[in-house]
Amino acid sequence: MNKDIIRTSSRKGLLFGIVLIFLVLINFHIMASTMISKLLGTNVLRGAFPEVRFMIIFLVIYGLWAGWSAVSRENKTTTKLLEGLISGITTGIVIVLFGLILFFLLETQTDVRRYLTALSFVSINIFLLGLRGAGVPVLFGLFTLTGLLGGALAIGLRSKTVSNFKHSIKAFVSNVRQSITSALPEFVTKYGKYMIYLVLLALLLLLPSRWGSYNNFVFGMVGLYVILGIGLNIMLGLSGQFMIGIAALFAMGAYSVALLNSPFPHGLMWGFWPSLVVGVVMAVIGGLLLGLPIMRLRGDYLGIVTLGFGEIIRILLNSDLLTDLTGGPRGIQNIQQPTFLGRPFNDVSYAYLIIVAMAVSIFLYYRLEKSRTGRAWLSIKEDTLVARATGVDVQKYKLLALCIGAAFAGLAGGIFAARNQFTGPNDHTLMVSINVLSVVIVGGLNSIPGIILGSFALRGLPELLRELETYRLLVFGALLVFMMLVRPDGLWPSSRPNLEEKGSSDLKEDIDPDLEGRGND
């Protein structure tokens, strides 16, 4: 038996065993079992515990994954099965040792919630499959069997038969699509994209009045993060400036609307629309003040400085010294709602307002990206020295990117404060900046569909699936690692034409064959 195979497979099993121990210590196994129960049609009340059979399903899936990941593509079939088996046995041994400790805690009634708040006696018993001490050998057998089955599953799904079947399905779908495209009238093929846009727009106009207040709230949150993601993408994706303090610019828009349109603390009551304009202008001024002293910084240094800027703004908003000016830790309440044609806004009206703001933001972004300014930003992002050598005013364009991105952040902040009728320091923490950065990275730089998909995945789904709320940081970290390994360009990466290849091919066609041959001689 090859020692390298044993060593590699054992490491895989050890890794999966340690990760599962960590998941149990933070009570993630209960959440996963609850989600499985909901997917299978059994509803578990919030705060209650799922049945043991759903825990078994979770452990089986995890064991199959452990066996699958240990299988290499180059080895023989018997070796692949052995890899999955060794991985499952190693995972089982680690879990047996951990299970014995858990069983000891159960028998002695040792409450460790003083140190591990999520680890209760009920969650321990569920992990042991309700069998207490007898659950330890059962877990070992389960992971051994699932490791072997995971290896067999990897062999089957990676076989040539399955691969050929996938290729035939893709070819069939491609042929059907081509035949349908060729059969369509020229008008439809030419303007079909715009017809799809009209259908999507019609859906967006119809759904807010039909899907209820809670779904409108979730949609509004996703839409606001789309606007924030577009603003950050102008800074990071187009001009290459690593901005982590966008929450500060978001706060400037929100507090401007709050201070100018609420009875406390100043009682100005300017109205929503003038306050929103002031909020956007204040965010632009904030971006300008931030950008002037940091124009020479790049990369991680720029990110650290902007992170510090965001924390300074949060601390100032939370300071007791500024309570008379900004409301202090209590924030600002009773922000007046906007009105349109004399009618106050409700949840449906806010949904339409956010749709309009998203549409304007997307339109402006595409116009900027394809303009001379957008090309200057991209040149700065690719190589600052070359951009400066070709006549691009680097400082001016980088500062312009910060100001325009800040305007989008201020717009989102103003709508956010008015919709919630409240804003406070806790709404503008570092986590907001991390969320927006995650949206852009996970969705895809310079990709509007990617930003929309990332906003829905990272902001919409946790709201719809409340069980994930406690593990948001864990999901963020795992998702970012997954994206870096599997799809480094994002869920929906941007597609840009390769102009160099096109230009070179056109130039090659224009070359006289006689001259080309003479040059070779």
Q: What phi and psi, each to the nearest 5 degrees, are found at residue 160?
A: -65, -35
- pLDDT confidence bin for 24, thresholds 50/70/90: very high
Q: How does the average pLDDT of the chain come out, rounded?
A: 86
pLDDT at 16: 95
Name the range with the highest mean pLDDT among 38-47, 223-232, 343-352, 495-504. 223-232
Q: Are residues 156 and 63 in the same domain?
A: yes
108-116 mean pLDDT: 84
Burial string for 282-291 (b: 16+ CB within 10 Å, else e) reads bbbebbeebb
Q: Are residues 446 and 358 in the same domain?
A: yes
pLDDT at 309: 92
Q: Which of 146, 163, 180 is the last residue of a domain?
A: 163
pLDDT at 466: 63
Q: Are residues 62 and 127 in the same domain?
A: yes
State the CB neighbour count (10 A cutoff) for residue 44.
18
Q: Are residues 440 and 328 in the same domain?
A: yes
Q: Are residues 360 and 272 in the same domain?
A: yes
Does 172 reside within a domain? no
pLDDT digits (tens, 9 = 90+) for 122-176: 999 999 999 988 999 999 999 999 999 999 999 988 888 888 888 899 899 889 8
Question: Percent helix, strand, coil in the chain (nearest 5)?
Answer: 80, 0, 20
pLDDT at 508: 43
Does 359 reside within a domain? yes
Cα separation, 84 vs 485, in Å, equals 22
Q: Are residues 147 and 224 in the same domain?
A: no
Does 17 reside within a domain? yes
Cα separation, 50 vs 321, in Å, equals 49
Does 190 reside within a domain? no
Q: Are residues 327 and 396 in the same domain?
A: yes
Q: Are residues 329 and 450 in the same domain?
A: yes
pLDDT > 70: percent of the chain:
92
pLDDT at 506: 45
Does 513 reside within a domain? no
- pLDDT confidence bin for 517, thresholds 50/70/90: very low
Q: Over 70: is that where the pLDDT of 468 sits?
A: no
Question: The tokens 């400790």 sit on which residue?
Answer: 101
pLDDT digits (tens, 9 = 90+) for 259-304: 999 988 888 889 999 999 999 999 999 999 988 888 788 878 888 9
* First-residue to last-residue Cα distance in the chain: 59
Q: Over 50: is that where the pLDDT of 516 sits?
A: no
| Host domain of residue 486 | 213-494
pLDDT at 337: 87
pLDDT at 510: 45
Q: Are residues 377 and 282 in the same domain?
A: yes
Cα separation, 206 vs 225, in Å, equals 21
pLDDT digits (tens, 9 = 90+) for 55-81: 999 999 999 999 999 988 777 888 889
pLDDT at 498: 46
pLDDT > 90: percent of the chain:
46
Does 517 reside within a domain? no
Report how many domains make up the chain. 2
β pairing state of 332-333 and 422-423:
antiparallel
Q: Are residues 349 and 459 in the same domain?
A: yes
Q: Over 70: is that where the pLDDT of 500 sits?
A: no
Q: Are residues 217 and 151 in the same domain?
A: no
Does 506 reside within a domain? no
Burial string for 451-468 (b: 16+ CB within 10 Å, else e) reads bbbbbbbbbbebbeeeeb
pLDDT digits (tens, 9 = 90+) for 181-235: 788 787 777 777 778 878 888 888 888 888 888 889 999 999 999 999 999 999 9
Those residues whose C-beta lies under 8 Å from the C-beta of residue 458, and which sit 6 or more positions away, are 225, 435, 438, 439, 442, 476, 479
Q: Which of 130, 163, 196 is the last residue of a domain?
A: 163
pLDDT at 184: 77
Q: When comparing pLDDT for 513 and 495, which is higher?
A: 495
- pLDDT confidence bin for 514, thresholds 50/70/90: very low
β pairing state of 339-340 and 343-344:
antiparallel
pLDDT at 275: 94
Does 76 reside within a domain? yes
Q: When comparing pLDDT for 393 and 198, which is higher?
A: 393
Q: Are residues 147 and 245 in the same domain?
A: no
